Structure 1
């Protein structure tokens, strides 16, 4: 393990078919006022909303609601939530939904009592949070982001056409998260696939860095293999409990920081996709799918040994007789086939990107990278390959 690290994750996970039964007991640990957050109504159609509200009423809670959270949560929604928290003296923010709802909840939790502009302070200047933080909890309905077990919050500022992410310290993590794989069954197939690839991308972003023999890389390879295997099953049978439960846990592990320990990490694919999302409001995982293959083809020669290992240990490719370059390309090719199996887009045009957007996206993307430090010109080259 090359780098020193401190590991702490305070989120309590309740996992399984009966996990919602734990909500009432957890609510007893918080005050009377709860902000209930959810998306555009699928939780009502599924009946989950009624179950949660009944539990909240049974616990004698005063409930304030914030609904309609977008798949790319906006700063305007965050500000509205912060207002509701202040005006109703909210003691707990309960996010019922996917990662977007949970991301927004965490953003509200740090922003409600912020002095000054939270966007500038926390998502642009990355200042420490020195104000009151409102506790967050979640009931997860879509697997992918891992937001149920980390401090991440990705918010879109529509006025500035910027989609920025921030990983807050562990005191912003959900205090508890309820994960019932059955709650993910109602997610449309496209969204399920998008979430699967979001998880895959999280794993790749952490994997493609470093040249040391790191235990974390072996963990990453195992989680990737599990995700790939279960994704194949879920695409054929979306209500296969074993597959959906494995996918849900892969997503949580994939970004709860354990798969990034003692790693340099990359994250440039995410930075590029964030700006694609800012311009198109596309599904996050779909945007990642479009960017990933061209990006990895662009940087593979700078980390060739890891890409060869990816082909062998993740995809099980026999690389005997291949050059390193051929082996690396075969692994990236397997990733491309995985994206096709998930029936996700493979071009920026499919996401609504127009040619005139390319330089704007490139110039507004946060530059960085793992094996290769990307410039705006490099990012533009990748975008052209995606187009």
Structure 2
């Protein structure tokens, strides 16, 4: 490992089918007014809402409800949540839901007492908080984003046609997260599949960078193999606890910064996917899937050594009698086969993108330089057209 780094993860995790009981212990550390954040109401159908509210009331908390968080939290919703938090003197935010709910909760936490427009401060200028930050805890109901153990918060501005993520520091990370795999089992299959691909994409974004012999890459390969194995079990039997628990645990470790240590990391699939999402409001994991294969086939020649390793170590490709290019391409073909078996979206046209939208989507794509090739605008357009 050639990089220099420091590492700390401030989030405490409770994992397992009886993990919710630990919410009692954590709530004692925070004030009386709790902003309860959740999504479209599925937690009220599956009983999780009632269980959480019962614990909050047993601990003497005043509950301030903030429901209706959408899959791609909007700037308007952020303004609403920040106003709720400030006007009700919220002491603690409890997010009950998937990655979007957790992202939104963190964004509210840094926006409620912010004297500036949070969009300009955090998502245009990418500044760090200079105000009081409300502590956040999470009860996770969907595995995918890793938001339960990181500082990321993605917000969509429909007016500006931008979907932007800000990765905040440890002071914004959830103080604790409760991970009960059983809470994920009532998800619709499409949501489960999108979450699975999101996990895999997070790992790829960190893996496809650097040339050194890096322990982080060995960890990434193990996580990818675990996700592939468990995903094939889960799509046949979504109630398989072992598979769902492994998927949930892999999601957390895929994006809690561990496997990025000593690496530059890429993240261009996410930049492309975010821009597609800003125009289509597509499910996050599906927008990533739709651009992944064209992107990786395009950058493969620039990081050929790593793509050969990916083919051999993750997909079991036998390189005997094959050129490096043939081996690497076979690895991507196997990845594509797995994606199709999962049932993810393979084309951005299936998400509502038309050829007329391509140039504007390209304009909204943030260009990063951590991977094997820094793209030009023309290259982004070419990749998007290949993704149609």
TM-score normalised by structure 1 residue count: 0.99
> 2:282 matched to 1:285?
no
> 2:16 matched to 1:23?
no
**Over the residues paired in the alignment, what is the CA RMSD in angstroms?**
0.6
2:230 alignment partner in structure 1: 230
CA distance in 2, matches of 1:225, 1:43: 31
1:301 alignment partner in structure 2: 301
2:387 alignment partner in structure 1: 386
Which stretch shifts more, 108-117 or 302-311?
A: 108-117
1:249 alignment partner in structure 2: 249
CA distance in 2, matches of 1:184, 1:301: 39
DSSP-derived class of the 2:68 partner: coil
> 2:163 matched to 1:163?
yes
Deviations 1:57-102 (A, max 9, x none): 1001000011110100011111111001111110110000000000
> 2:172 matched to 1:175?
no
Instruction: Report 1:140-151 matches (<5 A).
Output: 140-151=140-151
Q: Offset of 1:334 from its aligned partner?
A: 1.1
TM-score normalised by structure 2 residue count: 0.99
CA distance in 2, matches of 1:90, 1:376: 44
Q: Offset of 1:364 from its aligned partner?
A: 1.3
Deviations 1:240-284 (A, max 9, x none): 000000000000000000011001100000001001000000000
Segments of 5+ residues of structure 1 without an aligned counterpart are none
CA distance in 1, matches of 2:338, 2:263: 25
2:372 alignment partner in structure 1: 371
Q: Offset of 1:158 from its aligned partner?
A: 1.4
Q: Indicate if the aligned counterparts of 2:31 and 2:92 stay in contact, CA closer than 8 A.
A: yes
Q: Offset of 1:345 from its aligned partner?
A: 1.2
Moved over 4 A (4+): none
Deviations 1:101-148 (A, max 9, x none): 000000000011111111011111011211100000000000000000
Deviations 1:201-234 (A, max 9, x none): 0000000000100000000000000010000000
CA distance in 2, matches of 1:135, 1:25: 15
2:136 alignment partner in structure 1: 136
Deviations 1:359-383 (A, max 9, x none): 0001110012410001111111000
CA distance in 1, matches of 2:168, 2:374: 24
CA distance in 2, matches of 1:319, 1:90: 58
Q: Indicate if the aligned counterparts of 2:98 and 2:143 stay in contact, CA closer than 8 A.
A: yes
DSSP-derived class of the 1:170 partner: coil
Q: Offset of 1:335 from its aligned partner?
A: 1.1
CA distance in 2, matches of 1:170, 1:227: 27
CA distance in 2, matches of 1:300, 1:4: 27
CA distance in 2, matches of 1:341, 1:92: 42
Q: Offset of 1:164 from its aligned partner?
A: 0.3
Deviations 1:292-350 (A, max 9, x none): 10000000000000000000001111111110111110111111111101111111111
DSSP-derived class of the 2:153 partner: strand
> 2:342 matched to 1:334?
no
Q: Indicate if the aligned counterparts of 1:230 and 1:247 stay in contact, CA closer than 8 A.
A: yes
CA distance in 1, matches of 2:16, 2:125: 39
Q: Offset of 1:355 from its aligned partner?
A: 1.3
2:344 alignment partner in structure 1: 344
CA distance in 2, matches of 1:265, 1:273: 16
CA distance in 2, matches of 1:43, 1:319: 48
Q: Offset of 1:24 from its aligned partner?
A: 1.0
DSSP-derived class of the 2:83 partner: helix
Q: Indicate if the aligned counterparts of 1:368 and 1:375 stay in contact, CA closer than 8 A.
A: no
